[in-house]
Structure 1
Amino acid sequence: MLRRLMDYLRLLLFVCGVLLGVQVPAFVDQYGKALTAHTQEAKQSLAEFQRDADRFFGGDIDRLIAHYKQNPDAVFNAGGESIEAIYHRYRLLSEALTEFNQSGYGGFDRLVLAPLPEIRQQVWQHFSHSILLDGRAIAFGLLFGLLFAMLCELTLHGCGRCCRGAYRRIRLSAKTSGEERVEKP
């Protein structure tokens, strides 16, 4: 009976590991979608200024920003700083999205090695647990399930051995102190 219960526990740990493991590709997918959405939003914010740069500066937005910043009017000057901030944000997001999409590991490495912290945090806060049924998610889930089940089982065996050893030491010391009490009278 105990053996069968342990088999079910192993199976339960494996299934839990698989379910946890398939969340990783889902998180990466949602990160990619959020990165795409932020990039599109930054592009839309920059679109009107890009039209002005196309019309007056041959498409060079850096010259448009410099023109705004050189203007003695403080409002225009501040506008140049705002445009520059939007432009740098768009370039950062665009480069991150390009690297994410060109990654040989489907964006996993970009998310681990060079994520955009504010987007990763946003995805984490609004993460909706889902199960992707593509080959990558299934493989990751199975691998994670196997590793999770093995790690839990090894941990339980280690704890069991430690508890058994501690119990034996306590029993041995109690037995030894009991023998000393018997010999004293």
Structure 2
Amino acid sequence: MFRSYLRLLLFTFGLLAGIQVPGLINDYSQRVEAHLFESRQALDGFKQTAERFFNGDLQALLRHYRSSDDPVFNSDANSIESLMIRNELLENEWQALQGSWASRTWHVLVQPDPQMREETLKGYSYQILLVPEAIGWGIGAGFVLAFMVESLLLAIGWVIMGGRRRVVKESWR
């Protein structure tokens, strides 16, 4: 009876933990999208200048700023370059999040941008999404957790008992 309750408790815990995965992925995606829009807006004025004077080539604008003898222009070149690097990183993150649910999940769980991951985790609030992905994640995680823990406990019991099975006498009831 205790094993049944333990199995049920582990499954429930796994279910609730698994349901969080799609919510976390959704929050991470929204955070990346918001930062990407902000980055694009920050570069907008420089892009317009590059359009007017350098046929839209931001690298040419950056080289022009760097070649200037004016220290203000050199400082602005560093600012433009950091904005361009940040924008490229965010564009790559956004592209990684446009794939299938499996590739999005893999990206967010294994190789997210560290700063975005920290922001997402700090701002994340537990939620229960009733969408097919969340239900699938919840049931899968619940089953895997219950199966793994029960298997581990049975293996430990088998080692302690020396490989012998405990014989349980059946009741006539």
Normalized against structure 2, the TM-score is what? 0.84
Structure with more helix by fraction: 1
**Match of residue 129 from structure 2:** 132
**Match of residue 157 from structure 1:** 154
Q: Distance in 2 between matches of 1:21 and 1:138?
A: 8
What is the aligned length?
162
Tell me if 1:68 matches 2:65. Answer: yes
Aligned counterparts, 1:10-159, within 5 A: 10-103=7-100, 105=102, 107-159=104-156
Decide whether aligned partners of structure 1 residues 39 and 7 sit closer, same or farther in structure 2, where only a CA change above 3 A counts: same
144-153 vs 116-125, which deviates more? 116-125
Q: Which runs of 5+ in 1 are unaligned?
A: 166-185
Q: Which runs of 5+ in 2 are unaligned?
A: 163-173
Q: Distance in 2 between matches of 1:14 and 1:96?
A: 33
Instruction: For residue 123 of structure 1, report the CA deviation from its aligned partner.
Output: 1.3
Q: Distance in 2 between matches of 1:113 and 1:155?
A: 26
Q: Distance in 2 between matches of 1:28 and 1:156?
A: 32
Aligned partner letter, 2:19: V
SS, match of residue 23 in structure 1: helix
- 1:83-130 deviation digits (Å, cap 9, x = unpaired): 011011101111220121134525112224532121112212222111
* Conserved? CA contact 1:21–1:144, under 8 Å: yes
Tell which structure's C-alpha radius of gyration is larger.
Answer: 1
Aligned partner letter, 1:78: S
Higher relative contact order (CA 8 A, sep 6+): 2
- 1:3-35 deviation digits (Å, cap 9, x = unpaired): 2x4322211111111001111222111111111
Decide whether aligned partners of structure 1 residues 156 and 113 sit closer, same or farther in structure 2, where only a CA change above 3 A counts: closer
Percent of paired sites with the same residue: 35
Normalized against structure 1, the TM-score is what? 0.79
Decide whether aligned partners of structure 1 residues 29 and 61 sit closer, same or farther in structure 2, where only a CA change above 3 A counts: same
Instruction: For residue 163 of structure 1, report the CA deviation from its aligned partner.
Output: 5.2
Aligned partner letter, 1:48: G
| RMSD of aligned residue pairs (Cα, Å) | 1.8
Q: Distance in 2 between matches of 1:113 and 1:36?
A: 19
